[in-house]
A = this chain, B = another copy of it.
């Protein structure tokens, strides 16, 4: 084992800048949403996924996959949203294990009220700052990284460079 290949100055700067931007952007969007509505970013994403569906309803496991959330997190979160009247849970006729999660009229009102300012903020803080070539470049960058992340997610254990019976 030779020494670690540490980051160059350029790499370190880029990495730290990315991390700072990413956390601050999320925080800013969350603050805006909280200020202008009674929704958190997490609530918003749940509701967006439900409104994307023709009947405003989705199987819970599909929602978990779409959000990339653990089923436990989803279950707890939906419990809270249910108590607030934003979603309903109904049973699935074809698979008795399953549940449908459905947006309520109140949930619809909430997201319809919150969405315009949220989108405006995404524009104001992010998209409108960047030229369309930059937006496209960013998408390519993110797709490249995502691709690698999803390869890796399949492995149980990897990336050590060690193989048994080398």
Q: Which residues of A contact B (CB under 8 A)?
A: 4-7, 10-11, 13-15, 17-18, 20-28, 32, 68, 115-116, 119-127, 129-130, 132, 134-150, 152-153, 159
Contact = CB atoms under 8 A, between A and B. Distances in A.
Copies, count: 2
A21 B127 contact: no
Contact of A136 (B10, B129, B134): B10
The majority secondary structure among interface residues of chain A is: helix
Contacts of A120: 4-5, 159
A138 B25 contact: no
A7 B119 contact: yes
A149 B119 contact: no
19 contacts: A4-B119, A4-B120, A7-B119, A7-B123, A15-B127, A17-B139, A21-B142, A21-B146, A22-B22, A24-B149, A28-B153, A32-B159, A121-B159, A124-B148, A125-B145, A125-B152, A130-B141, A134-B140, A134-B141
